C-alpha cells in the first residue's frame, strides 16, 4: 500500500502473513509430486465446500455478534463462512495457479469491502473484530499478488480493515470494554492482537503491527504471553490461563498465539522464542492434558472467578492448531516437543473452516496447517 494508508515506518514483507513466497513454492511442488503429508492435506482443502470457485459471498453492512434485547439479530456466520472461503480459495490459487479460484477470493473480499461499515452486538463484537479481522487480513495477504485483484480494490479492502476492524482491535486492547484488566479471557486479547498484526502487515502499517507485537510481549491483559502462560513448572510446562475454564477456549488461545507468532516470524520477529519459549511450554501442557495425560495445576483466581481444578470440559477436542507449532518448534528449531507431535499426528491432515463444526468454534482457525506449515 502507499499514500494515506501507509504508516510512518518501513513497509512489511510480502507475502508475509502465514507463509512467505518460497514456502508456497515448496508446498506447491510437494503437492504436484504427490508427496505426503502435503497431498493428503491438499485433498482436504479441495474437499472443503468453501474451496469452490462458484462460491457466492453474503456481505452485510452491519455485522452483529452477540444477541441483545431490542438489537438486530446475529448474522456473523455470514462473515466467518466468507472469510474461510476467501482464504481457502486464495491458498488454492497460491499452490495451483487456479485463477478462477483467485478471482472468486477477490470477489469475496471486494464484496465485504464495499458493504461492511459496522460491527456491533454485545461485548462479543470484539471477538468478531479480532477473529474475522485477522482471518480477512491473512486471506488478503495470501491473495495480494493476484493480478486480477485490482489495485483500487486492494486499497478499498485495506480501508475497510483500517476503518472497521483495527479501531476496534485497538480500543479493546486499550480499554477492555470498560472492564477490569483481568476480566476478559486470554483468547479475547489474542484474537485482537492477531488482527492488529495481520492488518498491519497487509496495509503496510508497521505501527499497528508493532502495537500488537508489543502487547503480546508486555501487555497488561490476559493475552500477553506472561499472563496467558502464567505458571511454569519443571520439565518445560506452563499452565494456560483458561485451563480451569474449558479446553475448547484453551485450544483456541494456543492456536491464536501460534498464529500471531507465525505472522511475526514472517516479519522477522521471534515471538515464539519469547521468555524462554514460553508458548512452547504452554502448548506442551495443553497438548499433554488433551491427549489424556496428567499435568500439574495451580488454582487460578482473578477478579471474577476462582478455578480450583483443571477443567475436563471439551478435553480431547480436535482443532487444527498443532501443525503450525510442530513446524516451528520441532522442524525449524529442532526442539523436543513430543506432545505436539503426537497431537498433530492424532489430528491427521488439518481441515479448514467448517471441518470442525458448523458454528463459530469450527471457524476460529483458518486451518490447513499440515499443508502450509509442514516443512517440505
Encode pLDDT of 39-63 as tens digits. 999 999 999 999 999 999 999 999 9
**Half-sphere exposure of residue 170, counting CA atoms within 13 Å on the CB side?**
14
Helix (H) or strand (E) holding 133: helix 125-143
DSSP 39-83: HHHHHHHHHSTTS-TT------SEEEES--TTSPPP-THHHHHHH
How is residue 355 annotated by DSSP? B
Per-residue cell: 235: 520439565
Determine contact, residues 186/240, Cβ cutoff 8 Å.
Answer: yes
Which of 38-42, 67-71, 107-111, 243-247 is least confident?
67-71
Measured CA to CA, the distance from residue 48 to residue 46 in angstroms comes to 5
232 membership: H or E segment, kind and range? strand 229-233
Q: Which of 244, 259, 250, 221 is nearest to 301 (CA)?
A: 244
Whole-number Cα distances in Å, 336 to 65, 79, 295, 332, 369: 40, 38, 17, 11, 20
The whole-number average pLDDT for the span 147-164 is 98
The band of 6, judged by pLDDT with boundaries at 50, 70 and 90, is very low
**Cα(156)–Cα(115) distance, rounded to whole angstroms?**
11
* pLDDT one-digit tens code per residue, 158-207: 999 999 999 999 999 999 999 999 999 999 999 999 999 999 999 999 99
Residues near 259 by beta carbon (within 8 Å), at least 6 away in sequence: 18, 134, 194, 324, 365, 366
Residue 276: DSSP 8-state = H
168 compared with 4, residue with greater pLDDT: 168
Q: How confident is the model at residue 360 (pLDDT cuts 50, 70, 90)?
A: very high
Q: Which residues of 15-47 are buried (b: 16+ CB within 10 A; e: fewer)?
A: bbbbbeeebbebbbebbeeeeebbbebbebbee
> Cα–Cα distance between 130 and 124 in angstroms, integer?
10
Residue 331: DSSP 8-state: I
68 pLDDT band, cuts 50/70/90, is confident
Burial of 59 (0-12, 13-18, 19+ CB in 10 A): middle
Under the banding of pLDDT at 50, 70 and 90, the label for residue 9 is low
Q: 230: helix, coil or strand?
A: strand
How many other C-beta atoms lie within 10 A of the C-beta of residue 371?
Answer: 27
Q: Cis (ω within 30 of 0) for the bond into 328? A: no
- CB count, 10 Å around CB of 332? 13
Our CA angle for 283, 181, 135, nearest 5°, is: 50
Rounded mean pLDDT of 76-90? 99
Mean of per-residue pLDDT scores for the chain: 96
110-135 confidence digits (pLDDT tens)? 999 999 999 999 999 999 999 999 99
CB 376 within 8 A of CB 26: yes
Question: Which pLDDT does position 5 carry in this prediction?
Answer: 40
Per-residue pLDDT, 3: 34
Kindly report the pTM of this predicted structure.
0.97
d(C-alpha 111, C-alpha 157), whole Å? 9
Amino acid at each position: 500500500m502507499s499514500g494515506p494508508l501507509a504508516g510512518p515506518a518501513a513497509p512489511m514483507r510480502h507475502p508475509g502473513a502465514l507463509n512467505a513466497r518460497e514456502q508456497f513454492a515448496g508446498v506447491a511442488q510437494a503437492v504436484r509430486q504427490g508427496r505426503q503429508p502435503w497431498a493428503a492435506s491438499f485433498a482436504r482443502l479441495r474437499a472443503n465446500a468453501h474451496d469452490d470457485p462458484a462460491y457466492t459471498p453474503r456481505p452485510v453492512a452491519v455485522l452483529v455478534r452477540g444477541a441483545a434485547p431490542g438489537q438486530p439479530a446475529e448474522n456473523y456466520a455470514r462473515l466467518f463462512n466468507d472469510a474461510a472461503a476467501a482464504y481457502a480459495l486464495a491458498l488454492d490459487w497460491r499452490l495451483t495457479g487456479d485463477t478462477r479460484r483467485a478471482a472468486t477470493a477477490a470477489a469475496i473480499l471486494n464484496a465485504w469491502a464495499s458493504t461492511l461499515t459496522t460491527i456491533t452486538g454485545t461485548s462479543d463484537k470484539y471477538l468478531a473484530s479480532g477473529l474475522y479481522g485477522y482471518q480477512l487480513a491473512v486471506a488478503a495477504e495470501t491473495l495480494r499478488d493476484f493480478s486480477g485483484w485490482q489495485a483500487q480494490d486492494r486499497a478499498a479492502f485495506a480501508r475497510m480493515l483500517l476503518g472497521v476492524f483495527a479501531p476496534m482491535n485497538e480500543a479493546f486492547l486499550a480499554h477492555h470494554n470498560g472492564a477490569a484488566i483481568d476480566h476478559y479471557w486470554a483468547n479475547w486479547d489474542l484474537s485482537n492482537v492477531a488482527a492488529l498484526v495481520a492488518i498491519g502487515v497487509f496495509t503496510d502499517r508497521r505501527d499497528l503491527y508493532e502495537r500488537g507485537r508489543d502487547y503480546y510481549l508486555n501487555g497488561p491483559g490476559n493475552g500477553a504471553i506472561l499472563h496467558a502462560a502464567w505458571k511454569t513448572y519443571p520439565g518445560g510446562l506452563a499452565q494456560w490461563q483458561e485451563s480451569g475454564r474449558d479446553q475448547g477456549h484453551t485450544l483456541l488461545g494456543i492456536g491464536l498465539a501460534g498464529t500471531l507468532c507465525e505472522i511475526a516470524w514472517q516479519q522477522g520477529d521471534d515471538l515464539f522464542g519469547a521468555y524462554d519459549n514460553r508458548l512452547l511450554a504452554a502448548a506442551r501442557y495443553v497438548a499433554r492434558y488433551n491427549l489424556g495425560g496428567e499435568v500439574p495445576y495451580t488454582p487460578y483466581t482473578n477478579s471474577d472467578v476462582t478455578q480450583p481444578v483443571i477443567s475436563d470440559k471439551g478435553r480431547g477436542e480436535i482443532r487444527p492448531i498443532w501443525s503450525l507449532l510442530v513446524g516451528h518448534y520441532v522442524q525449524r528449531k529442532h526442539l523436543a516437543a513430543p506432545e505436539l507431535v503426537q497431537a498433530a499426528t492424532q489430528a491427521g491432515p488439518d481441515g479448514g473452516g467448517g471441518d470442525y463444526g458448523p458454528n463459530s468454534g469450527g471457524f476460529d482457525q483458518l486451518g490447513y496447517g499440515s499443508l502450509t506449515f509442514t516443512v517440505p
